[in-house]
Structure 1
Amino acid sequence: MLKFVKSHMESIDGIATYPMISLLIFFVFFSLLFWWVFTASKEHIKEVSELPLEETNQKNEQL
């Protein structure tokens, strides 16, 4: 089975570009995420982190 897959993959022209494209997408995504984490405003992060607590408080107030 593995021999069939290997021979089939080798027959595809340009197959070596797919791992490089995947690595590039991975690197760009995590670079942008890293940049966003360090440039996001502290007020926004605090507001978003308190959202689950606000929902719990609203439910308790309704009871």
Structure 2
Amino acid sequence: MLKFVKGYMESIDGVATYPMISLLIFFLFFTILFWWVFTASKEHIKEVSQIPLETEENQPKEESL
């Protein structure tokens, strides 16, 4: 089975570019995420971190339509 997959993958032109594209997307995503973490406002981080701790009594009431 492994020989079949290896032979099949070798027959595809440019197959070596797919892992490189995947690595590039992975690197770019985490680089952008790292940059966002360090530039995000501390007020926003604190506000979002309190969301799981809020109860229904503390949340604003939604109007019914």
Say whether the fold is shared (TM-score over 0.5): yes
Distance in 1, matches of 2:20 and 2:5, equals: 20
- Give distance in 2, aligned partners of 1:24 and 1:3: 28
RMSD: 1.3
Distance (whole Å) between structure 1 residues aligned to residue 52 and residue 57 of structure 2: 10
The letter for the 2-side match of 1:50 is Q
Q: Which runs of 5+ in 2 are unaligned?
A: 59-65
Q: Give the alignment's TM-score, normalised by structure 2.
A: 0.84
- In the alignment, what sits opposite 1:47? 47
1:32-61: per-residue Cα shift (whole Å, max 9, x none)? 00000000000000000001112x2627xx
Aligned length: 58
Which of the pair is proportionally richer in helix? 1
Q: Percent identity?
A: 81
Aligned structure 1 segments of 4 or more residues deviating by more than 4 angstroms = none
TM-score by length of 1: 0.87
Give the whole-Å Cα distance in 1 for the aligned partners of 2:57 and 2:16: 54
**Matching residue's letter, 2:8:** H
